[in-house]
Structure 1
């Protein structure tokens, strides 16, 4: 296949490009030129800012387009307008998000669960409140521009090498230091993940079969924060490492923001959307590697600026034990 990737030089897009090239496909990546040629020497590189000028796409055609960088519906519309005709994109895959859902009625919700209302104005800024609605609007724009058979991939938290957010990586690095580790909330709090490499291989297989519709690539519920931390600990923690679970109310009373403890949330909507049913994705061949294997592949990085420092963590643990 001839495949166009809108944003193929970072994380999910990079892993997809590598998978497609390894499988012998003809890959074109459109990106701003900040990275790419050295990472993907066998791909064709089109240098452009999708928000400014997509003229490099004129006159070209692909069998499939993978859009990993559409966060605003106007970006989907601008892509369609830049092509000579909608068919020039081939089979269109949009990487969306689990954030598109309204609060699910119950754990194990499927892809036909109600989405967030999206009939209002289109936000011009990505915030915690606007992100999910914008992704719904991107999905609607994709169907209008590229037809009803578009492929919508709604991942949960994506983990693995090359993750520039380092949310999962934070816990790998913290548990590798050992000692008493502050674990936020309760071990049974829901959390679903997917390794970017597994996601990429599966998306490529779906495109090869020209699959359509929406899918949840995620670990099956009940998948929890406790499961994740225990799996990471089994892979990287030194002997004697312990997890101390500190209650949400205590952390909130101490004014600890969620970003200080990555992947932790007390938001009911966010927790509810971490319980999706991935049966449809698994039935189409999604293979999920053990979280422990992913943890072993994470390279050291500079600590996240917003994360708890060792001193802050120690003080919180002391206060928790004295409460």
Structure 2
């Protein structure tokens, strides 16, 4: 297949491009040129979707499908989709969206038919600044506006794995590598949902080849792993120098530790937890979604981090993750 990657040098886009090259697909990457494209890419096009006329390099091209990872203003997705729909420039349009598009409070077990946030395909950067959910929903609408039943909306959940540029799993791994007493947000058997970036990429390519359309929640099944399995895997692969001290959700919150950002991946039981870690993914599972064990994700991410000298790349538009030493000390002083 001839695949166009709109943004194929970052985290998710790079994983999709690499998986497509491995399948023997002919891959074209369109990006701003800030990072080297993955090896094996057939063509590299340069442009800036934030600039007027920035997608001119796409004109005249023909691809079987396009995968778009854009998380900025929806009007940029609209411009790209319109251009690629003209004259059959692309057969299908796959937009990597997010489960953040669901309007809260999100009940446990919500599937793809749940209510979504208000947005428009023409929303600008000014209108969506700081509103990730609105931006992603607007991107979905922009995709469907031009491609209709040839549009696939991939509502990914928490994404982990090698190449992560958000800092969640890398923070835990680097903290465990330092060793010592580490406060662990519990309970230990708290189920969590995530998707390994490589499993996401493979499902996206399978779905694209099969011509799937519409919205899909793409994340592991509820209970695929637990906080205990996740953090204990981090301890094991980094050499076993860290000692986990489990703390209840009440103790974590009382100590002033921030869920999700301060303690990456973790959320206390409640509405936000139900949204992120109890979503229905039966539709994607029914189409062949496969999720590797958490130990494999953690092991491979640690190997990648070590290749980089223990310093993970971080997107400038995402907040830093992790807690400081003072917060850790308060957590360790709290009752279990």
Q: TM-score, structure 1 length as denominator?
A: 0.87
Shift of 1:136: 1.4
Shift of 1:198: 1.0
Q: Residue 89 of structure 2 corresponds to which residue in structure 1?
A: 88
Measure, in 1, the Cα distance between the counterparts of 2:56 and 2:121: 30
Give me the CA root mean square deviation: 2.8
Are 2:215 and 1:200 equivalent residues in the alignment? no
Q: Residue 6 of structure 1 corresponds to which residue in structure 2?
A: 6
21 and 106 in structure 1: CA distance in 2 versus 1, 3 angstrom threshold: same
Shift of 1:257: 3.5
Secondary structure of 1:59's match? coil
Measure, in 2, the Cα distance between the counterparts of 1:214 and 1:286: 14
Q: Residue 319 of structure 1 corresponds to which residue in structure 2?
A: 333
313 and 178 in structure 1: CA distance in 2 versus 1, 3 angstrom threshold: farther
Q: Residue 170 of structure 1 corresponds to which residue in structure 2?
A: 171
5 Å-filtered alignment, 1:202-221, equals 202-221=203-222
Q: Residue 308 of structure 1 corresponds to which residue in structure 2?
A: 323
Measure, in 2, the Cα distance between the counterparts of 1:123 and 1:184: 38
5 Å-filtered alignment, 1:55-94, equals 55-83=56-84, 85=86, 87-94=88-95
Query: 1:177, 1:238 within 8 Å by CA — same for their partners in 2?
Result: no
* Count of residues paired in the alignment: 318
Measure, in 1, the Cα distance between the counterparts of 2:223 and 2:206: 26
251 and 127 in structure 1: CA distance in 2 versus 1, 3 angstrom threshold: farther
269 and 81 in structure 1: CA distance in 2 versus 1, 3 angstrom threshold: same
Shift of 1:102: 1.8
Shift of 1:253: 4.3
Shift of 1:236: 3.8
Measure, in 2, the Cα distance between the counterparts of 1:83 and 1:203: 19
Unmatched 5+ residue regions in structure 2? 315-319
Shift of 1:80: 2.6
Secondary structure of 1:45's match? strand
285, 288, 293: which is aligned to 2:291? 288
Query: 1:55, 1:82 within 8 Å by CA — same for their partners in 2?
Result: no
5 Å-filtered alignment, 1:113-192, equals 113-118=114-119, 122=123, 124=125, 130-192=131-193
42 and 141 in structure 1: CA distance in 2 versus 1, 3 angstrom threshold: closer
Secondary structure of 1:118's match? coil
164 and 59 in structure 1: CA distance in 2 versus 1, 3 angstrom threshold: same
Shift of 1:287: 1.3
Structure with bigger strand share is: 2
Secondary structure of 1:181's match? strand
141 and 119 in structure 1: CA distance in 2 versus 1, 3 angstrom threshold: closer
Measure, in 1, the Cα distance between the counterparts of 2:244 and 2:252: 19
Secondary structure of 1:92's match? strand
Measure, in 1, the Cα distance between the counterparts of 2:78 and 2:120: 16
Measure, in 2, the Cα distance between the counterparts of 1:312 and 1:179: 15
Deviation digits for residues 34-68 of structure 1 (CA, Å, limit 9, x no counterpart): 1124x335331101111111100111111000001
Unmatched 5+ residue regions in structure 1? none
Measure, in 2, the Cα distance between the counterparts of 1:123 and 1:182: 42
Deviation digits for residues 250-299 of structure 1 (CA, Å, limit 9, x no counterpart): 44444433422222345954322121111221221111111111111121
Secondary structure of 1:96's match? strand
Q: Residue 102 of structure 1 corresponds to which residue in structure 2?
A: 103
Deviates more, 1:277-286 or 1:258-267: 258-267
Q: Residue 32 of structure 1 corresponds to which residue in structure 2?
A: 32
Secondary structure of 1:162's match? coil
Secondary structure of 2:149's match? coil
5 Å-filtered alignment, 1:267-282, equals 268-274=270-276, 275-282=278-285
